[in-house]
Chain A
């Protein structure tokens, strides 16, 4: 048994959690919600152990480094961040519905890491550019940011589903009761975006400090840098629209989806453009 096998089990645990969250949303039974939350916590615990194992293993191989250095490790950490932040949010906000929309992103990230061709799950030694103390702070802040934007995206999706679900106020078994109210969703989107915006700002700044030491310039308009700035601008527009021009509800939900698309392009799409950050030519 290896830690990568355990990580592929985690993929299935998150899938199960997703299915339970979906049952909770569709059938409205608390039982499914509790089961979903429990499953997600188990998945997070197992994943954390596997990550620590991988970390230790890299030291046993004599090439010790935190498992945040290649596409596989970043995908796994992305999934971890999503579930971690989601469970904290669920615990604080006492609302389980976004789970059905957020957990599948973590599941997809894990599945992509496990099965996509070209994703190497071996522990690789660090090339000179990655041998920096800034690696950890840069990757952790960026992915916590991406995960927060994922929460906003998941809550935004529910917003679009709302009108599709018949609201029957007299029936106790009414489905839209299972969905959070539009106001709650609006708050969830806003909080996710704010948290993500602060983390993304930190990620860009730690990245430029690192670039200052590694590449000799804190900003070189590398496609990944540029796309992180584009993403930052999109969320900055969203926050100004809300705080100054009073955008709420559906418009914010649309922006959360656009912002998330930009996050995905910053993370993955950019690898197909030439540049310093590319995982592909590493």
Chain B
């Protein structure tokens, strides 16, 4: 029985795969639709904490998901971009302009984050080229304390301060002057982030962000307000289409399963007939069809969830410039629903066909 089951799947692998992919695509859209709100809200909450009412300007090609995860890529922009903003009409809205160069480095086997900044804040220590402020985790791992010296890539730094507790996520950070970071990271004259702040209460922030991008070619400007606005727009669209999306999606999923079963029965009519004619009990044929349908349906649901990860990330970046992560909380619901649909859709036609005389299926009349 198992041999027949496996060999039949192998014989018709293409149609099974086609149905699984069709279902997976639809399921991934449903997953994205159902988890979009919560994921976007979560991400915006995180960014609100990080950006406040400010703006983050980064090179256009930056992978934001990696950026937020503190994995910095090769993309950079000129370090005079801060000055260009100050020299532009936009400067009246940009009270604070903070160019930074972030990079990942390894020192004595410890993975660290280097942050090059203009050192206006006392929090990050002195603006001397060879002065370094470090997070408490980095100090502990490297065994450093104030006034110790740390050599990186031929640059020698004196520890001027250990920040304890450090800002969230900067436990393993080394704060150095921008020029020093550019030298250590091999990116002279470059930055990969520009933070801006000001009183923007009466400002159309998305329009302001667009002006910033025009003034600084090859950049993207991210604001919480912009993200929130994009989310509201997307939510409105999703709300408008969610019912129809669910109905169409559900119909396609159900149709895919029914199509698979009917195709299996139609293509395998003769085989069902001859299996019946050589004595395979009708019950076993029904069970075989049910199992194949459920396996295909569940495989489609799982693949759909996996597919929703890159799709949602792409969708989030395209629409809100943030990488969104789909919620898997609906997985059990999808699995349960698809199992029930597969069960009903496969058992009825299979039952019907096994009630027929085998010769009807063998077309031996």
Q: Do A and B come from one complex?
A: no
On B, residues with C-beta under 8 Å from A are: none
Interface set of A (CB-CB < 8 Å, partner B):
none
